[in-house]
Amino acid sequence: MSKWVCLLVFMSLVFPSYYANLLYAKEGGEYEDFLVARRTFEDGFYEIAISQLEEYLKNYPRSEWLDEVHLLLGKGYYHSGKFYKAKEELQLVHSPRFEDEVLYWTGETHSGAEDYKGAIEFYDKVINNHPDSKYRVYALYSIGWSYFKLKRFDDAVSQFNQVIKDFPDEKVVEDSRFRLIESLYNLKKFDETISSFNAFLKDYPESSRKAEARYFLGEANYYSGNFNQAIEEYNEAIKLLPKGQLSAYARYGVGWTYFKLKKYRESLEAFEGFAERFSKDLLMDSVMLRMGQCYGNLGEYDKAIELYDQLLKRFPDSEFNDDALFWKGDALYAITRFADAILSYNEGIKRFPDSELKDDFKYNLGWAYLKKGDYLNAISEFEGVRNSAKSVNLKASALCRIGDIWLEKKEFKKAIEAYEVVLKEYTDSLYGDYAQYQLGIVLFKMENFTASALAFQSVLINFPKSKLHSKAEYQIGLSYVRRSDFKSAIEQFEKLIDKIHREDDVRVSALYQLGNALFNSSRYDDSIKIFKQLMKEYPDSNEFHRGIYGLGLSYYSSGDEKEAVSVFKSYISQYPTGGVLPEVQFWLGQYYYDKELYDAASEYFKKLKDSYSGSPFAPQSVFYMAEILMKKGLKSDARACLKEVIRRYPNTNFEKESYEKLGRLAMDDGRYDEAIEAYNKSLTGEKNSRNCQIQFRIGECYEKQGRIEDAEREYLKAAYLFPDVPYWPVNAQLNVARLLEGQNKWGEAEKVYEKLSSLDRDEGKYAKERLEWIKKNIK
């Protein structure tokens, strides 16, 4: 049972992403037909491409790619020497974005027909009407304002000092001192403001402006970061002058200062007091905004939204309406009303294109689209932030979000591009270490484990203060595991476990992976020790259950089969809802299956299927049950098992795998139509080796039926739709060439062989041999 040696790695590293019932996007045939035709054209098979494109127009007369199709047809006819038909097709291209290209190729058709004067006319139109063809921003403005009309506060200080100096006994001195200090305040010299107003109050204890002085002391202390003293000064001002504009400002100051202290309940009470006394004050729109923010920070989002709506309705021209729409959007986002949040953010962007919040609107809008599952719009908004935002951190964060989206969609190259831009242009931003870490994650998912380890090491070297160090070190160890460098993995995990605190979440995972690495190094006694340590130190963790699973496998691999079975059966009895119960039942099912004790195996597989229908092991158990039935010669029952998977797990990878198995059964029995139907249903949207092989098998089925054109089409799909997959695309093209030879289409077959002859592998050698044969025997 050597297959158990790597099962621990498989379960712990592959199945976490395999557990979810993945929904596959279903690509329509329209785009794929267009793509195949376009690729056929690009490879120089113009007659085939023309045929495909004409067929495409018949099948999809309202396609969104009609302009591209007519453009390709025009160019195809041109390359085929049919210039008049080329011009006819080009005249059917109506999209303005192709106008320059259409003009050019129309000129080419005239040139091809030796109508050079007509050609020049069209070339001139490109030059004159599209001077920036193929190679093609906003002015921003700002508004400011200040307390005094002239804003010459240094001159004011000098003047007031001169008055005080020249007329020390005049009553004007008090007023001059007050204005001088007020000028200091406007110059943001807050320490001088505080000391000067305190001296003023001491010298003029009965001044009619002492309430105003207290207010300015509150303001100066606030801006100096002395929040508690600021609140005290504001309250003194209110006591001295409980009514009037100054009192309103002071009450606002109290509310805002509590807000800065994150004492939202006290802040809310202060603003509510303001609203009761000064409901018609000019600051009322700002007060309503702050009250909404207080409710939001207190988690009372419905009340926050209600206040923002009241503000927008009561003060339609308020300068805070952009803030209200922004924070309303955030409140809606917080309660997962993403569609409504999108409406609020979009309204803010539309109504306030020059708002200081415009970048934040777009950034949060991107998040709302992301949470709603609208990835394309999310990326569009984040790209807009990256291109227009002033904040380096916001640009970097937007790029990281773009990278995260592409990572989630498994568009790894695009994810890498986004993270690398952060590292290249914004490495000193708050997100530099995150981008570096995520780059490692992408490379890990691409199974480039050497590169992923280096990327995680760069987090440690280039970002010494990053909080991601323990995670990066863990991922380094995991990269070693995945490339089967278990010795390095053991050293890495041992070092990490010794240096981090026991409460660090990474430590328990590192313990598990250390046991895993020891297991895969055949150090079973040591892996047993580590798994037992994990179970002792972290009895309430998820890894506790995975540790039991590892413990059982370690016993089995050490030769103690009896203890392994005992561990697993004890687990079933002690933890009837345990986290790895499906895995344990599946293991026992496989254990008895390998011993050819099929009834016992079926019992465990059936329990798993019936009790854990949502587990990824459930459909696999059904697969095993189907295999058992096939071993018993019950193919009909086996097909019924696979159809049960299809029924119970629709729109999942298990459904697709079941269709694939049904296709194989049908193909083996010579039922090719049934096989083709099953294979087509088994295809997913991923451009991987599995789908490419299935596409290849469909071609084989058609070929077996003698449907050569259909076979060629399917083989070309395997070749063109899966360019990065090894083996199958090349062999699909060889099959196309073979079929072309069978039809005496030697020229077209020769093109295929010429394309493949450059390959440094057996297929390339074979292609060269066929080229030589064709040249020798045909030409």
- What pLDDT does 167 receive? 59
- What pLDDT does 269 receive? 93
Are 307 and 373 part of one and the same domain?
A: yes
Q: Is the pLDDT of residue 21 over 50?
A: no
Are 167 and 246 part of one and the same domain?
A: yes
Q: Which residues contact 453 (CB under 8 A, 6 or more apart)?
A: 440, 475, 476, 479, 480
What's the token pair of residue 234? 């504001």
DSSP state of 283: T
Which amino acid is it at 3? Answer: K
In a domain, 769, yes or no: yes
In a domain, 622, yes or no: yes
Range of the domain at 225: 153-256
User: In terms of pLDDT, which residue wins out, 465 or 503?
Assistant: 465
Q: What angle do CA 69, 73, 79 make, to 5 degrees?
A: 145
* Per-residue pLDDT tens digits for 549-578: 999 999 999 999 999 999 999 999 999 888
Are 632 and 696 part of one and the same domain?
A: no
Q: How many CA atoms lie within 13 A of 672 on its CB side?
A: 12
Helix (H, G, I), strand (E, B) or coil at 575: coil
Are 585 and 676 part of one and the same domain?
A: yes
Are 181 and 95 part of one and the same domain?
A: no
User: In terms of pLDDT, which residue wins out, 633 or 465?
Assistant: 465
Confidence of residue 610 (pLDDT cuts 50, 70, 90): confident
**Per-residue exposure over 88-111, b if at least 16 CB sit within 10 Å of its own CB, e if not:** ebbeebeeeebbbbbbbbbbbbbb
- Counting the structural domains of the chain, the total is 5
**CA 309 to CA 324: how far, in whole Å?**
8
Q: Is the pLDDT of residue 134 over 70?
A: no
Confidence of residue 28 (pLDDT cuts 50, 70, 90): low
Are 663 and 699 part of one and the same domain?
A: no
In a domain, 193, yes or no: yes
- 71-to-54, 58, 295, 387, 628 alpha-carbon distances in Å: 12, 16, 58, 32, 56
Confidence of residue 22 (pLDDT cuts 50, 70, 90): very low
Are 747 and 675 part of one and the same domain?
A: no
Helix axes 338-351, 321-334, angle to 10 degrees: 170
Q: What is the DSSP string of 244-262?
A: SHHHHHHHHHHHHHHHHTT
Q: Are 254 and 278 in contact (CB under 8 A)?
A: no
Q: Are 53 and 70 in contact (CB under 8 A)?
A: no
Domain-terminating residue out of 664, 682, 700: 682
- What pLDDT does 530 receive? 93
Q: How many CA atoms lie within 13 A of 564 on its CB side?
A: 19
What's the token pair of residue 316? 């339609």
Per 3-state DSSP, what percentage of the chain is helix, strand, and coil (rounded to 5)?
75, 0, 25
**CA 204 to CA 177: how far, in whole Å?**
11
Instruction: For the chain, give the number of residues.
Output: 779
Are 713 and 653 part of one and the same domain?
A: no
In a domain, 410, yes or no: no
Are 701 and 732 part of one and the same domain?
A: yes
Which amino acid is it at 176? Answer: S
Q: Where are the alpha helices (DSSP H) in 113-189?
A: 116-129, 153-166, 172-186
* Per-residue pLDDT tens digits for 61-95: 888 888 999 989 998 998 899 989 989 998 998 98
Check which CATH number belongs to the domain holding 107 and give it: 1.25.40.10
Confidence of residue 136 (pLDDT cuts 50, 70, 90): very low
Q: Are 621 and 652 in contact (CB under 8 A)?
A: no
Domain-terminating residue out of 332, 357, 383: 383
Q: Is 335 exposed, middle or buried (0-12, 13-18, 19+ CB in 10 A)?
A: middle
* Per-residue pLDDT tens digits for 313-370: 999 999 999 999 999 999 999 999 999 999 999 999 999 999 999 999 999 999 999 9
- What pLDDT does 674 receive? 95
Task: Give the mean model confidence (pLDDT) for residues 139-152.
Answer: 35
In a domain, 563, yes or no: no
What's the token pair of residue 194? 């505080």
* Sole residue written with tokens 């890495």: 492
Q: Are 332 and 345 in contact (CB under 8 A)?
A: no
* Per-residue pLDDT tens digits for 476-507: 999 999 999 999 999 999 999 999 888 888 99
Are 677 and 698 part of one and the same domain?
A: no
Confidence of residue 151 (pLDDT cuts 50, 70, 90): low
* H-helix or E-strand spanning residue 441: helix 432-445
Are 295 and 237 part of one and the same domain?
A: no
Q: What angle do CA 544, 550, 553 make, to 5 degrees?
A: 150
Q: Is 48 exposed, middle or buried (0-12, 13-18, 19+ CB in 10 A)?
A: buried
What's the token pair of residue 752? 């295929």
- 442-to-23, 418, 514, 725 alpha-carbon distances in Å: 21, 11, 23, 19
* Per-residue pLDDT tens digits for 667-718: 988 999 999 999 999 998 889 999 999 999 999 999 999 999 999 999 999 8
Q: Are 515 and 527 in contact (CB under 8 A)?
A: yes
Q: Are 527 and 554 in contact (CB under 8 A)?
A: yes
**Other Cβ atoms within 10 Å of 212 Cβ, number:** 19
* Sole residue written with tokens 């904040």: 391
What's the token pair of residue 185? 């305040």
- What pLDDT does 11 receive? 31
* Residue closest to 14 by CA, chosen among 588, 621, 486, 478: 478
Confidence of residue 657 (pLDDT cuts 50, 70, 90): confident
In a domain, 54, yes or no: yes
In a domain, 747, yes or no: yes
DSSP state of 138: -
Domain-terminating residue out of 682, 713, 739: 682
Q: Are 401 and 409 in contact (CB under 8 A)?
A: no
> Percent of the chain, pLDDT > 70?
91
User: In terms of pLDDT, which residue wins out, 166 or 196?
Assistant: 196
* Residue closest to 181 by CA, chosen among 202, 170, 167: 202
How far, rounded to the nearest angstrom, does the alpha carbon of residue 269 sit from its chain's CA centroid? Answer: 41
Q: Is the pLDDT of residue 4 over 50?
A: no
Helix (H, G, I), strand (E, B) or coil at 650: coil
Are 299 and 239 part of one and the same domain?
A: no
**CA 610 to CA 588: how far, in whole Å?**
16
* Residue closest to 363 by CA, chosen among 344, 380, 339: 380
- What pLDDT does 12 receive? 31
- What pLDDT does 3 receive? 31
Q: Are 715 and 701 in contact (CB under 8 A)?
A: no
- What pLDDT does 146 receive? 26
In a domain, 485, yes or no: no
* Per-residue pLDDT tens digits for 293-314: 999 999 999 999 999 999 999 9
Q: Are 376 and 363 in contact (CB under 8 A)?
A: no
* Residue closest to 344 by CA, chosen among 281, 272, 292: 292
Q: Are 184 and 151 in contact (CB under 8 A)?
A: no
* Per-residue pLDDT tens digits for 513-531: 999 999 999 999 999 999 9
Chain mean pLDDT for the chain: 87
Weakest-pLDDT range from 135-144, 269-278, 393-402, 582-591 = 135-144
- What pLDDT does 478 receive? 95
* Per-residue pLDDT tens digits for 736-777: 999 999 999 998 988 998 988 888 888 889 989 999 998 888
